A and B are shown apart, each in its own frame.
Chain A
């Protein structure tokens, strides 16, 4: 389990970073909590790792205009401990302790988690439920993408070679609920849901369910249960089990919305 050899660069400015990540075989390295294991298991073999953790200005958390902007390099631990997040985004505050374990939360980043787009991860689902806007930068400038459009499939996003996710804006919501089921604390969820109520509309985003977060906007619990697509099975849980568990979670979260 030794990573194949690769070159490593740690740019200090975004401009430097853009130049590096445009090179063929380049890959962005943030907290490394997902990327490094895939290298060690020789599941991927990038030629150049561009470590973006030295970039300034991407680790701020700021509340303004009814939203909280979180820099891509904020670690899960920073988000977990942020007073702004606790006050304005109780959904995220509730979700963060479910991500992995403290040691991993100390290194893993918001940007890394969103860019990775693991279908069982908490943050992409929260972003979809809250209708977050993802901020993407490249040599050409900045563009903004709504979370529902950003997640395209299994580990697939709207990000293109040469682009860096620099942050995300999470709008506030009146009410929220976060529940997930894991066999062991810190595992990726078997199935989970991140849900908010915004202007009386319930937005429920399921994860560990399909190839990306599944957003439903049901009027009633019955409608919610009926509107679930057929989930993908995993190693330990059939599609039927996941569907059943998702319905149980809907029941448990419903009254909080």
Chain B
């Protein structure tokens, strides 16, 4: 069913699609551009105090002694606290989930007690009248340290020679094995077996706005209001409530404008918990905003995998089996409450994902190290799984001598095979790999690119074309976190209220991080109710106002929150027609709503402006029948449940030119064909893809958190940590297939992570395609000039 057939109006009516599928500009863009955003750091409160943290200079050290007296005596200081003091107000946490069998992690405190386990872990907090004063005073904290052995390398961690948390017995946080059976036999007799080891650099999500929290404890009510740059206000409400011992109803979390999050702002951070605890301890508002140096040391990092993958296929190019061994390191703690086991788990779930083979074996270890913690960052596990899959698929194609596009066509799950269960156990509702591949080959002019490539090679210009097919987890059901015991909502809700003037207010539990969610909710609400978009106002990010829900993560906002808005909009329209029917003494079935009017459904004739309906419903209900009460505020919720995840699919292509003298890679162009179901706003979807591709390119070419052997972060600043910048980015061409999910009426799947999931693989394959005639190959991301020169044996 294409979007044109979607039932976006009451059955049998001819009311049009409204704004669904249109590139409507997002209403909040102008406000942000005019500098009228309200980010957490913009808020001003009377008696606001500021916290700065004394952070461990060592990757692993016992805190023998902390002398806080000098710091306490500095100008403007309100208080200086160590881990023990804060722990009296904030319970520690252990980040494990029941469905990740055997996962273990030590208890983590808001402020480290006795021992620091990574460079940058907060070991004391200074609260002062200004941030400058707090930072000044931090310099007066004196610590006596006893350095402990440091584990930075993940292979070394796995070997268990030195155990970071002796109570846990070893350094293994989590391991998983999966086996369909029959893998060994297939590899033993397959015509072709290829194997390679891929390395993925540890990197991080760099948000324009750093992490920010302003906690305001009110002793009179024993209530806590937290202004928080977060993706998940309700999750944080629950956590503040349980760990700070305040009744849930007394905790309100407000996420005003948020300047990017990418998964960075969906976790529990020790320094943020400490800030909330300090507000309770001091009975005044306390603010913490991570500066850029702190962000690099304490925002979650991600990736850092070493994976060996093998593929077996026939001479004719039929893939038979995948065999995977993944190792990933997560720092000293699993991150609360989602755990740091998910990324590795996703790699196991997704590797080989687009293809038809039936045999699959995987082994995966998640180990502790003395580096900053890692957790879910945009596309969680996908960039790894896609690069492993597509890297080894290209190697197989090369070995057999088949064009990579043809090899994929032979092996992609066919478009009529759904519903389909993949050998890792995950289920696909409906994907469109072949349509996507065909479209990609058309928009890239693939044959033309190949011809140009061979022509240029004769002039010693080395271009490469890389493809990356992928599947992606979106719209997760409670199977993601809830079943494991995490108090993270997989359902979301929307409340729609008709205002007396005929305007519509939308309150939704999915949040806005800058991605335009509020814009698409306005589009859906306007279309579902029958009003013009200028009549819609959207409120998100306030646990005191919106229905309960999960928030923004795992590409779920449009598919889940959007469906809730749609259902609420339909219900509101029906309730409005009830009022209109009474007012007009007509049968409700004869009426509909369009262009801010109640109309005659058959003739389209305008019967009643909504402003008049609102006036009567709210101010003159005395004119309505005595047994009738209007209900012009409606709430609906939605949870995807039929499938664990609503998978999407897509395919990307990258065109690069490698300079074999310098090892430099020039990105010439990038394409992405994506099937994210119903496209609600093409402009926003394309920009999500482009932004995601850029982050994926960052992983492929630029971004890596470099650590020294002593566990010191070597490049934790914007000069040395290279984020991708506009000047180097290629044009990114987006195209879409629309296969709506039939689980919802809106039909939208997620799209926010697709670009990031596929781009590293596409760029890697393009580079290796360019290097192939030179006999070189790279498998260690990011592909720096030095790594490419080494592969070329030039250095």
- A residues neighboring B (CB under 8 Å): 1-5, 41-42, 181, 183-188, 190, 235-238, 240-241, 244-245, 248
Which chain B positions have C-beta within 8 A of A248? 661-662
Min Cβ gap B449→A in Å is: 26
Which chain A positions have C-beta within 8 A of B292? 1
Contact of B630 with A by CB under 8 A? no
**Bound-state Cα–Cα, A245 to B664, Å:** 11
Which chain B positions have C-beta within 8 A of A237? 784-786
Closest to B727 in A: A185
Which chain B positions have C-beta within 8 A of A42? 135, 139
The winner among A41, A188, A190, A241 for most chain B CB atoms within 10 A is A241
**Bound-state Cα–Cα, A235 to B784, Å:** 11
Contact of B728 with A by CB under 8 A? yes
Contact of B293 with A by CB under 8 A? yes
Starting from the known contacts A1-B293, A42-B135, A183-B722, 19 additional A-B residue pairs (CB-CB under 8 Å) come to: A1-B291, A4-B136, A41-B293, A181-B662, A184-B724, A184-B725, A184-B728, A186-B725, A187-B722, A190-B785, A235-B706, A235-B720, A236-B784, A237-B784, A238-B786, A238-B795, A241-B663, A241-B795, A244-B794
Contact of B411 with A by CB under 8 A? no
Min Cβ gap A234→B in Å is: 9
The B contact surface, by secondary structure, is loop
Contact of B714 with A by CB under 8 A? yes
Which chain B positions have C-beta within 8 A of A1? 135, 291-293
Contact of B702 with A by CB under 8 A? yes
**Bound-state Cα–Cα, A4 to B724, Å:** 31
Which chain B positions have C-beta within 8 A of A188? 719
Q: Are B785 and A241 in contact (CB under 8 A)?
A: yes
**Bound-state Cα–Cα, A188 to B727, Å:** 15
**Bound-state Cα–Cα, A253 to B81, Å:** 60
**Bound-state Cα–Cα, A1 to B794, Å:** 41
Q: Are B727 and A184 in contact (CB under 8 A)?
A: yes
Which chain B positions have C-beta within 8 A of A235? 706, 714-715, 720
Closest to A249 in B: B662
Closest to A41 in B: B293
**Bound-state Cα–Cα, A1 to B727, Å:** 28
Binary interface encoding of chain B residues 307-327 relative to chain A, with 1 for a CB under 8 A from any of its CBs, else 0: 000000000000000000000
Which chain A positions have C-beta within 8 A of B722? 183-184, 187
**Bound-state Cα–Cα, A5 to B76, Å:** 14
Closest to B290 in A: A1
Partner of A185, one of B136, B139, B725, B789: B725
Min Cβ gap A244→B in Å is: 5
The winner among B139, B292, B663, B714 for most chain A CB atoms within 10 A is B663
**Bound-state Cα–Cα, A29 to B706, Å:** 32
- B residues neighboring A (CB under 8 Å): 131-132, 135-136, 139, 291-293, 661-664, 702, 706, 714-715, 717, 719-720, 722, 724-725, 727-728, 784-786, 789, 794-795
Which chain B positions have C-beta within 8 A of A185? 725, 727-728
Closest to B726 in A: A185
Which chain A positions have C-beta within 8 A of B139? 42
Given contacts A235-B714, A238-B795, contact A5 B132 (CB under 8 A): yes
Which chain A positions have C-beta within 8 A of B715? 235
Closest to A188 in B: B719
Closest to B134 in A: A2
**Bound-state Cα–Cα, A244 to B785, Å:** 11
Closest to A248 in B: B661
Q: Are B727 and A186 in contact (CB under 8 A)?
A: yes
**Bound-state Cα–Cα, A228 to B78, Å:** 58
Given contacts A1-B292, A238-B795, contact A245 B728 (CB under 8 A): no
Which chain B positions have C-beta within 8 A of A5? 132, 136
**Bound-state Cα–Cα, A238 to B662, Å:** 13
Q: Are B795 and A240 in contact (CB under 8 A)?
A: yes
Partner of B135, one of A2, A181, A184, A190: A2
Min Cβ gap A5→B in Å is: 7
Closest to A237 in B: B786
Q: Are A244 and B789 in contact (CB under 8 A)?
A: yes
**Bound-state Cα–Cα, A184 to B722, Å:** 8
A-B contact pairs, 23 of them (CB 8 A): A1-B291, A2-B131, A2-B132, A3-B132, A4-B136, A5-B136, A181-B664, A183-B702, A183-B722, A183-B785, A184-B724, A184-B725, A184-B727, A184-B728, A235-B706, A236-B784, A236-B786, A238-B786, A240-B795, A241-B785, A244-B795, A245-B785, A248-B662
Closest to B133 in A: A2
Which chain B positions have C-beta within 8 A of A184? 702, 722, 724-725, 727-728
Q: Are B789 and A241 in contact (CB under 8 A)?
A: yes
Min Cβ gap A108→B in Å is: 14
**Bound-state Cα–Cα, A208 to B321, Å:** 49
Q: Are B293 and A241 in contact (CB under 8 A)?
A: no
The winner among A185, A187, A188, A235 for most chain B CB atoms within 10 A is A235
**Bound-state Cα–Cα, A38 to B372, Å:** 24
Given contacts A4-B136, A41-B293, A248-B662, contact A241 B725 (CB under 8 A): no
Which chain B positions have C-beta within 8 A of A186? 725, 727
Min Cβ gap A107→B in Å is: 17
**Bound-state Cα–Cα, A185 to B160, Å:** 43
**Bound-state Cα–Cα, A188 to B132, Å:** 30
Closest to A191 in B: B662
Which chain B positions have C-beta within 8 A of A183? 702, 722, 784-785
**Bound-state Cα–Cα, A245 to B788, Å:** 12
**Bound-state Cα–Cα, A245 to B785, Å:** 10
Which chain A positions have C-beta within 8 A of B784? 183, 236-237
Q: Are B132 and A245 in contact (CB under 8 A)?
A: no
Which chain A positions have C-beta within 8 A of B714? 235
Q: Are A245 and B662 in contact (CB under 8 A)?
A: yes
**Bound-state Cα–Cα, A1 to B41, Å:** 14
Min Cβ gap A43→B in Å is: 11
Closest to B715 in A: A235
Min Cβ gap B339→A in Å is: 31
Which chain B positions have C-beta within 8 A of A236? 784, 786
Partner of B786, one of A2, A41, A241: A241
The winner among A5, A181, A236, A237 for most chain B CB atoms within 10 A is A236
Which chain A positions have C-beta within 8 A of B136? 4-5
**Bound-state Cα–Cα, A235 to B292, Å:** 19
Nearest 10 pairs of A and B residues by beta carbon: A1-B291, A185-B727, A2-B132, A241-B786, A248-B661, A240-B795, A241-B795, A184-B725, A244-B795, A2-B135
Which chain B positions have C-beta within 8 A of A244? 789, 794-795
**Bound-state Cα–Cα, A126 to B418, Å:** 65
Min Cβ gap B712→A in Å is: 12
Min Cβ gap A241→B in Å is: 5
Min Cβ gap A40→B in Å is: 8
**Bound-state Cα–Cα, A241 to B714, Å:** 19
Which chain B positions have C-beta within 8 A of A181? 662, 664, 785
**Bound-state Cα–Cα, A219 to B293, Å:** 47
